[in-house]
């Protein structure tokens, strides 16, 4: 009797705990996407070259032309590597503080780049590995392979139909 009742209560707690856990996990994902968006816009300033929508309409005319990330087919590992290591020979800067210091990027060091006449652009700021993962969460949720912006995608992007979205077709 007593133990049955105990089991029922314990079962209920286990169920509640798993619900809380499921919720916490989901909330963390949403936070990562939001944090990634902040990093894309501000600290990493990806938008300066890739545009706020990641479509290559850059925000700063003095900056090199960034790729249109919305039309890109790229897996997450490659994306993270490009952000950490940049793309030698283009204006895409490396965001890993230790890129080209120990061969972690394409097996090359500063001296190898120099020998090949490749100059890397300076990043607006260096990013930690987990910040780059957050940017990847955001990019894969809202940008990569999502195609051209439209009104609905724009409202989803900003969380509401803001004025910036008026330029897009319904």
Instruction: Enumerate binding residues for ligand HEC (CB under 6 A).
Output: 44-46, 48-50, 63-67, 69, 72, 74, 79, 82-83, 87, 90-93, 95, 121, 124, 135
* CB closer to ligand HEC, 18 vs 65: 65
- Closest distance of CB 157 from ligand HEC, Å: 15
* CB closer to ligand HEC, 84 vs 153: 84
What is the sign of the dihedral through the CA atoms of 45, 51, 54 and 57?
A: negative
What is the sign of the dihedral through the CA atoms of 8, 9, 10 and 14?
A: positive
* CB closer to ligand HEC, 7 vs 119: 119
Is-contact 93 103, C-beta < 8 A?
Answer: no
Is-contact 38 131, C-beta < 8 A?
Answer: no
- Closest distance of CB 18 from ligand HEC, Å: 35
- Closest distance of CB 151 from ligand HEC, Å: 24
The candidate with the shortest Cα–Cα distance to 149, out of 170, 134, 121, is: 170
- Closest distance of CB 20 from ligand HEC, Å: 33
- Cα 54 to Cα 121, 156, 163, distances in angstroms: 19, 15, 18
Residue 24 tokens read as 């916490």
- Closest distance of CB 159 from ligand HEC, Å: 20
* CB closer to ligand HEC, 7 vs 76: 76
Tell me how far apart the alpha carbons of residues 60 and 84 are, in angstroms, rounded to a whole number: 22
* CB closer to ligand HEC, 44 vs 52: 44
């Amino acid at each position: 009797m007593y133990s049955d009742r105990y089991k029922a209560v314990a079962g209920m707690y286990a169920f509640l705990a798993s619900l809380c856990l499921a919720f916490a996990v989901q909330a963390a994902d949403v936070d990562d996407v939001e944090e990634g968006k902040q990093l894309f816009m501000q600290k990493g300033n990806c938008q300066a070259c890739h545009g706020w929508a990641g479509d290559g309409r850059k925000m700063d005319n003095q900056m090199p032309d960034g790729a249109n990330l919305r039309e890109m087919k790229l897996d997450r590992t490659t994306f993270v590597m490009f952000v950490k290591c940049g793309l030698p020979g283009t204006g895409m800067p490396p965001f890993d503080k230790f890129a080209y210091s120990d061969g972690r990027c394409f097996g090359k060091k500063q001296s190898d780049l120099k020998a090949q006449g490749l100059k890397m652009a300076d990043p607006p700021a260096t990013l930690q590995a987990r910040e780059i993962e957050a940017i990847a969460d955001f990019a894969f949720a809202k940008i990569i392979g999502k195609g051209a912006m439209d009104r609905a995608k724009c409202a989803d992007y900003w969380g509401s139909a803001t004025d910036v979205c008026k330029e897009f077709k319904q």
